[in-house]
Amino acid sequence: MFRVVILLLFTNLFFMLYSTGNISKYINMKYALLSKSMIAVFLLLTLAEGIRWYRSDKEKHHHHEHHEIGRSKGKKIRKFLSYSFVLIPALSGVLLPVATLNSKLVDAKGFQFPALEDGNDKYGMHQVLNPDMSPFMGKDAFLDLVDKESKTYKPKGQIRLTDQDYLVGLEVIYNDSGDFTGKKITINGFTYNGPNLSSNQIFLLRFGIIHCVADSGAFGMMVQFPKDVHFSNDEWYQVTGVLDTVYYTPMKARIPIIKVSSYKTISKPKDPYVYRNSLN
């Protein structure tokens, strides 16, 4: 019986995530077909386990013996406790609200940028600014990928990063920042007051998901205004400006910066996340 309930809860969890659209807050939607198939798998398993439980329950009634009642109660208690550990995530996924990642997670994880600080780092989870794919595919394959992707952006005099190519565009700019100096760029994102910024500087970020929320990161750029500004965290803006580079002490490296020529407030997108849509 416990197995039937658990399988039914997980079937309901996946169904609710898709029906509400909240599944995009957990996985890259290029894996949507694979995760959708889990609904059918869980449903079939639920039906199979339900039939098996029904048949075994009928057999127990035929062979029931009174002296085994005490022992079966103890067994049920142990089984209930063991299954409770599986029930918790199934219930919490349905009952608790889905939280959107924001600047609080950046503060909690720390403003770390291992890709520029240590080229041997193989664990790029929860990176900041630069969507470094090298931990997922090897350094040589990564450099070949960036070289291929850069051919789309280098000929452009003006670059506009959309939700579809946000991570790809940033990856190219961070790895060949010198080739993009002086080019005009437009990006959207939420504001973040990072450490060691001047009074006219702030970071503009988007949370990006490469495969799933476990490898998510806050990706974006430092932006610099002509005069002092004050923004609270998590305000959404569209910024246009000219690309340059600046030495950023906490990261011990030169990073791209947008010298702002115009900006405007925008509404928070329906889907605030961006995704790595391809490896082409």
- pLDDT the model gives residue 204: 97
Residue 280 has pLDDT above 60, yes or no: no
242: helix, coil or strand?
Answer: strand
The string of DSSP letters for 264-277 reads EE-PPPSS--EE--
- pLDDT the model gives residue 228: 95
Helix axes 2-20, 69-95, angle to 10 degrees: 10
Beta strands in the chain (DSSP E): 128-129, 158-160, 184-192, 201-209, 217-224, 236-248, 253-265, 274-275
15 contacts 203 by C-beta, under 8 angstroms: no
CA distance linking residue 110 with residue 192, whole number of Å? 13
Q: What is the per-residue pLDDT across 252-261, written as a single tens digit (0 to 9) for each?
A: 889 999 999 9
**pTM of this prediction exceeds 0.85:** no
Residues with Cβ within 8 Å of 192's Cβ and at least 6 positions away in sequence, in order, are 103, 106, 202, 203, 204, 205, 218, 220, 233, 234
- pLDDT the model gives residue 278: 59
* Domain ranges within the chain, ordered by starting residue: 2-95, 103-275
Q: What is the per-residue pLDDT across 84-137, written as a single tens digit (0 to 9) for each?
A: 777 776 677 667 666 677 777 777 666 655 444 444 444 444 578 988 888 778
Most confident of 21-30, 108-117, 197-206: 197-206
The residue among 58 and 211 whose pLDDT is bigger is 211
Q: CATH assignment of 103-275?
A: 2.40.50.140
